[in-house]
Amino acid sequence: MNAVKACIFDLDGVIVDTAKYHFIAWKQLADELGFSFTERHNELLKGVSRMRSLDILLEIGKIEKSEAEKQVLAAQKNERYVVFISRMTPDEILPGVRQFLEGLKEKGIKIVLGSASKNAPMILEQIALAPLFDAVVDGNQVTRAKPDPEVFLKGAEKVKANPSECIVFEDAMAGIEAAKAGGMRCVGIGDAEILGKADLVIPGFMDFTVEKLFAHFC
């Protein structure tokens, strides 16, 4: 098996749960547009880019808008979302994540962020994890959304790792497909029934260690 040189992490759903803030901000927009938007609907937006999320939301409400109007709505939603994330603290890092990242650092494994979010750098600063990352690729740096592997391939390139030397950590199916399309191994974070295409699925980082990662992949 290939050595592990880099671990590439998705942000929302893997390192923090920002989906709850996205939900409040999207719901407020739907309320203003006059239709209901539920937590179940919100599941469809996880891992999806901002503009694609808006398209899905408008499809749910059966509402048509011009490109210019969509830009305004997306900006409104983002303004509200940013208010929430600007209040985030390190307490919001999901259980076990910091310890796992520190374990990787000790072993000299590169730590990379591969997120669809254009707000990813701000979130990493808020939760004080930015210094642990060797490279960050966010929604501002990619032209193709997951399941396209662009975000992960760029991340691997930034730390000079071959795709076969990278392990991606993802909570969304599209992200797992992106990792596979990029020739990378992948750990799914969440439900094994949903994320079955991953090489390994764990519920979270609570009891997960670098030793367990190596036992599975090395």
HSE-up of 59 (CA within 13 Å, CB side)?
10
- Catalytic site includes residue 10: yes
Min dist CB 192 to ligand B16, Å, is: 19
Task: Determine if 48 is a binding residue for ligand B16 (CB under 6 A).
Answer: yes
Helices (H), 36-186: 39-43, 50-60, 67-85, 97-106, 120-126, 150-158, 173-181
Which partner from the list ligand B16, Mg ion, none does 190 bind, CB cut-off 5 to 8 Å by kind?
none
Of 8 and 161, nearer to ligand B16 (C-beta) is: 8
Structure tokens at 41: 């609907």
Task: Determine if 126 is a binding residue for ligand B16 (CB under 6 A).
Answer: no
Q: By rule CB under 6 A, what string of x and - marks binding of each residue 131-170 to ligand B16?
A: --------x-------------------------------
What is the dihedral sign for C-alpha 195, 198, 201, 205?
negative
Of 109 and 120, nearer to ligand B16 (C-beta) is: 120
In 3D space, the residue among 101, 146, 117 whose CA is nearest the CA of residue 12 turns out to be 117
Set 12, 134, 171, 191: catalytic member? 12
Residue nearest to Mg ion (CB): 13
- Measured in whole angstroms, the distance separating CA 33 from the mean position of its chain's CA atoms is 27
In a 3-state reduction of DSSP, which class is residue 88? coil
Of 69 and 211, nearer to ligand B16 (C-beta) is: 69
**Other C-beta atoms within 10 Å of 158: how many?**
18
Q: By rule CB under 6 A, what string of x and - marks binding of each residue 7-46 to ligand B16?
A: ---xxxx--------x----------------------xx
Which partner from the list ligand B16, Mg ion, none does 110 bind, CB cut-off 5 to 8 Å by kind?
none
- Catalytic site includes residue 12: yes
Task: Determine if 129 is a binding residue for ligand B16 (CB under 6 A).
Answer: no
Sheet arrangement for strand 110-114: 135-137, 110-114, 6-9, 166-170, 185-189, 200-202
Residues found near Mg ion in the complex (CB under 5 A): 10, 12-13, 47, 171-172
Distance CA(171)–CA(217), nearest Å, equals 19
Of 33 and 122, nearer to Mg ion (C-beta) is: 122
Omega cis (within 30) before 147: yes
Catalytic residue ranges = 10, 12
Binding site for ligand B16 (CB under 6 A): 10-13, 22, 45-50, 53, 78, 115-119, 139
